[in-house]
Amino acid sequence: MLRTKPSNDWPIESRVARLLAVAPPCDMVHTPSSLRHKITRIPEVRTLRVSEIFFSLQGETSRIGLPTVFVRLTGCPLRCGYCDTEYAFYGGEGMSIPAILDEISGYAPRYVTVTGGEPLAQKECLTLLRSLCDTGYSVSLETSGALDISGVDVRVSRVLDIKTPGSGEVEKNRWTNLGHLGSHDELKFVLCDEADYQWAVAVMRERRLDLICPILFSPVYGKLDPAMLAAWVLRDRLPVRLQIQLHKLLWGEGPGR
């Protein structure tokens, strides 16, 4: 086969076409550096299904009260009886990671929280979390504790639920996740009643959870009286933080808060 060497007198498109015809189809390895910008792979577009992106005050954890951008990803494999984000189980909008970053940057935040649903149910969530950290945000992740967190960027503060019997999903707890937590993470028990409280205290003591990271006790909104939970925590001298969801006190229940 006659192979004519591309001449510098040829138009650039002709030189590129000729090189593509004779080079291995995969990439630029043998391509002159002057032409590399013309022969690149089309990058894979990674998308996530996003239920909502909004700017609000962080309502929970040690970051409570801080202005934060929330990225709520669609979908969750659990069905807790007290779930307040059922609207995020389905629907949402497909967004690329650059598009998500672009929307977040419009708020110029310092803090970003990725939540759900269960955000880790979408595998590209790990890439999103890494990208958010690389961009310079202080990032937290709210996760059910049912899925593996070992791949989450270590710069992310993981807020891991431990599901109680009252949630209806206690058997979904992935206990091996505890081995991946550090002092900048947090463990959260959402408590439905006194039976849940007693169960949480037993688990905490048995597994020495207070030596791993801060522990949050949170009453189910409208179901367990926060004052009663406060009395139990003080009575039992527990090394936990009682938290009430600030956003619900301020604005009640509903999307976008």
Tell me which residues touch ligand SF4 (CB under 6 A): 76, 78-80, 83, 85, 116-118, 144
Q: How far is the CB of 227 from ligand SF4 (least distance, A)?
A: 23
In the complex with ligand SF4, the residue whose CB is nearer, 53 or 76, is 76
Whose CA is closest to 58, among 142, 137, 131, 126?
Answer: 142
Q: What is the closest distance, in whole angstroms, from the C-beta atom of residue 188 to ligand SF4 in the complex?
A: 11
CB neighbours of 113 closer than 8 A, spacing ≥ 6? 58, 63, 68, 69, 70, 71, 139, 140, 141, 142
138 in Cβ contact with 85 (< 8 Å): no
Least Å distance, CB 91 to ligand SF4, is 14
- The continuous run of DSSP H or E covering 67 comes out as strand 67-73
C-beta of 195: minimal distance to ligand SF4 in Å?
Answer: 18
Nearer to ligand SF4, 15 or 72 (CB): 72
CB of 96 to ligand SF4, least distance (A): 24
SS3 state at 231: helix
Distance in Å, CB of 142 to ligand SF4, minimum: 8
| Tokens of residue 5, six digits | 């060497």
Residue closer to ligand SF4, measured from CB, 39 or 181:
181
Residues near 59 by beta carbon (within 8 Å), at least 6 away in sequence? 245, 246, 247, 248, 257
- CB–CB of 178/212 below 8 Å? yes
Residue 220 or residue 229: which is nearer to ligand SF4 going by CB?
Answer: 220
Closest distance to ligand SF4 from the beta carbon of 116 (Å): 5
Is the Cβ of residue 83 or residue 99 nearer to ligand SF4 in the bound state?
Answer: 83
DSSP code of 189? E
Cα(177)–Cα(120) distance, rounded to whole angstroms? 13
CB-nearer residue toward ligand SF4: 116 or 219: 116
Specify the residue, 80 or 209, whose C-beta has the smaller distance to ligand SF4. 80
User: In 3D, which of 132, 45, 131, 48 has the Cα closest to residue 95?
Assistant: 48
H or E stretch covering 71: strand 67-73
In Å, how far are 197, 232, 233 from 224, measured between CA atoms?
Answer: 10, 12, 14
